[in-house]
Amino acid sequence: MLLAIDAGNTNVVFAIFDGEEKRGHWRISTEGRRTSDEYAVWLNSLMEMKGLKPGDIDAAILSSVVPTQTHTLAKLCEDHFGCTPMRVGAPDVDLGLEIRIDNPREAGADRVANAVAAVASYAPPLVVIDIGTGTTFDVVDADGAFAGGVIAPGPALSLDALHRVAAQLPKVDIAKPASAIGKGTVGAMQSGMFWGYTGMIEGILRRIREELSPTGTPKVTVVGTGGLVRVFAEGTDLVDHIDGDLTLRGLLLIHQRNQARKGRTGQ
């Protein structure tokens, strides 16, 4: 079985695949001081609830945008599951995706995994919008190549910053408000966040579509993923598909591609 790990700035997501079947899926907050042993105790207990054992794992793949966690999670795989993880972004890992940006090494591992899964599931050109700690718009051109994108602060990060610098503004939940005009502080903040972010999403998507396909042909397909995408999809009709497993599926596809390549070359 394959252990797939996606380490982001807010959460580390773990999934176990038995072939194409996802047998388990868990997340834990990203914490720089957490050790590989601590991860192992937590993960093993959750695996046991699914009838899975450490010995069931014979391969791992790791995507990390948190340098302090990369080594820790690799050590988790090596010490507790007996395998060295394939690392997305390593020179010897074949993505099956052309990276058409000025410095291909700058492409985040999670963004690349999203693009790989999107190309496998939807017809390009594509935009993948991933709403998490940051909001990323990843662009796949008509040739199926990663062509760049946009990075903006995530909605939770923006709300937290507003709460920190404005003493009288409370922390509020991110949700679609009943009306655009807030009748109190909480309603006003929720409206500003929801409709302000929705406006940003729509504005950026329209500009990307104009650059990617000026005539509208071929159609640009927008795929949404990330923890908050369903919330903001309520406010716009520009998101064509919501695909919550996009990153993990991208990791599975990358691992399968490289295993198949090793089989062909006998490595």
* DSSP 3-state of 257: helix
The pLDDT value given to residue 262: 76
10 has binding-site annotation: yes
Residue in the block written with tokens 């309520």 = 234
110 has binding-site annotation: yes
185 has binding-site annotation: yes
9 has binding-site annotation: yes
- Residue 205: enclosing H or E segment and its boundaries? helix 185-212
**At a CB cut-off of 8 Å and minimum separation 6, what does 96 contact?**
116, 253, 254, 257
223 has binding-site annotation: no
* Burial class (CB within 10 angstroms; exposed 0-12, middle 13-18, buried 19+) of 97: buried
Task: Transcribe 134-168 into DSSP letters.
Answer: EEEEEEE-TTS-EEEEEEEE-HHHHHHHHHHH-TT
The answer to whether residues 244 and 15 touch, using CB atoms and an 8 Å cutoff, is no
What tens digit of pLDDT does each residue of 5-35 get?
999 988 999 999 999 999 999 999 999 899 9
The pLDDT value given to residue 264: 67
| pLDDT surpassing 80 at residue 84 | yes
| pLDDT surpassing 60 at residue 108 | yes
CA nearest neighbour of 227 among 244, 246, 252, 241: 244
**Rounded to an integer, what distance in angstroms lies between the CA atom of residue 165 and that of residue 86?**
42
What tens digit of pLDDT does each residue of 163-175 get?
777 767 777 888 8
The pLDDT value given to residue 167: 63
What tens digit of pLDDT does each residue of 208-258 get?
999 999 999 999 999 999 888 999 999 999 999 999 999 999 999 999 999
So what's the architecture of 104-249 in CATH? 2-Layer Sandwich (3.30)
Q: What are the residue ranges spanned by the domains of the chain?
A: 2-87, 104-249
What tens digit of pLDDT does each residue of 46-62 get?
999 999 999 999 999 99
CA nearest neighbour of 57 among 86, 37, 81: 81
pTM score, two decimals? 0.90
So what's the architecture of 2-87 in CATH? 2-Layer Sandwich (3.30)
The residues with which 152 forms a beta bridge, in sequence order, are: 135
The answer to whether residues 14 and 25 touch, using CB atoms and an 8 Å cutoff, is yes
Pairwise pLDDT comparison (140 vs 265), residue with the higher score: 140
| pLDDT surpassing 80 at residue 267 | no
Q: What is the mean pLDDT of residues 184-203?
A: 92
Q: What is the mean pLDDT of the chain?
A: 92
65 has binding-site annotation: no
- Going from the C-alpha of 97 to that of each of 68, 111, 154, 179, the distances in angstroms are 27, 12, 26, 43
6 has binding-site annotation: yes
What residues are annotated to the active site? 110
